[in-house]
Amino acid sequence: MILQLNPMADNFRLLYDGFPGARFAGMYQLARPVLAIRDPELIKQITVKDFDHFIDHSQFVPEECEPLWGKNLFSLKGERWKEMRATLSPSFTSSKMKAMFNIMSECAERFVNHFRVEGSEDTVTVEFKDIFTRFTNDVIASASFGIN
């Protein structure tokens, strides 16, 4: 883990799997401590009840390099994070999430079926950015405006 010879996701998987009975486990990324939370109740406690104590998150990609990713809720810090969370929270109540899940599942089913019909048993070559932009737009249009 120190030399970063493995992808970070693999390191987190090793950390998570290495402590099956623990509620959480930790490691260091050089001098920065990192936690992997395993217990669903502890995750709920941190993200719902004590969210105001966990406002600064690691930046995966600097905002200057990737403005879209750098401005999402998981990358923001301090007051910008608080403002964005306050804006987004009303959209993600449990009842709204349950309703959106079915809509997103239908969009995903159409997405997969599109390639099954088009590709049959053959390999299909796609431009990921284009195809996932279309999928994302489909989900947003369906969930927000009821457009299929």
Q: How far apart are CA 1 and CA 59, in angstroms?
A: 19
What is the tens place of the pLDDT at every residue in 79-125? 888 888 888 888 788 888 888 899 999 999 999 888 876 556 677 78
Given a cut of 70, whether residue 4 has pLDDT beyond it is no
pLDDT at 106: 93
Given a cut of 70, whether residue 133 has pLDDT beyond it is yes
User: 26 versus 63: which is more confidently predicted?
Assistant: 26
What is the tens place of the pLDDT at every residue in 32-46? 888 889 999 999 898
* Range with the poorest average pLDDT among 55-59, 110-114, 128-132: 55-59
What ranges do the domains of the chain cover?
Answer: 1-54, 57-91, 92-145
Radius of gyration of the chain (CA): 19
pLDDT at 77: 80
Contacts of 76 (CB under 8 A, 6+ apart): 57, 84
- Whether residue 19 contacts residue 35, with contact meaning beta carbons closer than 8 Å, is answered with no
pLDDT at 62: 74
**How many contiguous H segments (helices) and E segments (strands) does the chain have?**
6, 2
pLDDT at 117: 62
* Range with the poorest average pLDDT among 9-18, 111-120, 130-139: 111-120
Q: How far apart are CA 66 and CA 98, in angstroms?
A: 31
pLDDT at 2: 57
